Structure 1
Amino acid sequence: MNDISIHPYSPGYQPDFKRLNIEWISRYFAVEPHDLEQLDHPDVHVLPNHGQIFFAKLDDAIVGCVAMVNTGTPEQGVSEFELAKMAVSPTAQGKGIGKKLCLVAIDYARQLGVKTIWLESNRILTPALTMYESVGFREVPSIPTPYARADIRMEMVL
């Protein structure tokens, strides 16, 4: 795992952000309009208000990513972030890359003073849910979501 480095977003990584997420979403579900909004235009739908995307690089290839989206209101500032668009290429799974990305995203939120991180997922994605639990996320009641595939909501209070 020494070959893995984590990099913050730069515009050159947008195609990797889209490729990695389309790859996993289309394997298990249907790609939805809100996915494409975020994947095609992260500068509008992810990065504003201290949002960030982190990328995992293995040797010379981008093999994973995770987004942190500020979902707090302007009055709340950076109180609430969504951990979103977590993806690791099938060729790089099993190397702890998802957990490393998740921990970097959580640390980023802590540095900003974020109070709550939440995510939505699906119960068939057992390895992902297990990893989220291992870093401190806990299931909470679901609320309305733009994603048809989301059947579980998890939260972490920092």
Structure 2
Amino acid sequence: MDQIEILPYSAELSPFFKSINQAWVEDLFSIEPFDQAQFDSPEDTIMIPGGAIIYAKLGEEIVGTVGLHKISNDEFELIKMGVKSSAQGKGVGMILGHAILKKAREMGGKKVVLYSHSKLVPALKIYRKLGFKEAELEEGKYCRCDIKMELEL
């Protein structure tokens, strides 16, 4: 079996951030304005403000991606973790999760939060295995989210 390789953000890989995440968001929910802004301009909305995006490559194919949105100097939000359906069940999500948490630590992060939905059972399983714990969800943060999780690094 091919090894999963983690790649950093590059303009060349940017379209995969949109295509991989847009697929699952449209399939399960609907695209919100903040989604569209992140998909159309990840450089401006995520990278320049101090965040990060990484990609998972399996063989010659980019099969997954995840981002960090900078909240403060020591807190990040894990955003847009997506794995192509053809690569699901191969451990890509867990590898992406470990890699993005490592990146958060390297960037000075002390805490990572995420927002999700209870119907995303496989994703929630990954988050719990990574050590995330449920936290109180503030009202109105995201329309489609009914779960907030946190991890102290």
Normalization by structure 1: what TM-score? 0.92
CA contact (8 A) 2:2 2:59 kept: no
Give a deviation string over 1:12-70, Cα, whole Å, max 9, x none: 11111100011111111111111011111111111124311000011111110000111
Unaligned runs of 5+ in 2: none
RMSD, aligned α-carbons: 1.2
Q: Aligned partners of 1:80 and 1:14: how far apart in 2? A: 24
CA contact (8 A) 2:68 2:77 kept: yes
Unaligned runs of 5+ in 1: 73-77
Q: Aligned partners of 2:41 and 2:140: how far apart in 1? A: 20
CA contact (8 A) 1:34 1:146 kept: no
Calculate percent identity across the aligned residue pairs: 41
Q: Aligned partners of 1:48 and 1:116: how far apart in 2? A: 20
SS of 2:12's partner is: helix
SS of 1:114's partner is: coil
CA contact (8 A) 1:9 1:54 kept: yes
Q: Aligned partners of 2:107 and 2:87: how far apart in 1? A: 30
Number of residue pairs the alignment of both structures matches:
153
Superposed structure 1 runs of 4+ greater than 3 Å apart: none
Q: Aligned partners of 1:118 and 1:145: how far apart in 2? A: 16
CA contact (8 A) 1:80 1:114 kept: yes
CA contact (8 A) 2:52 2:69 kept: yes
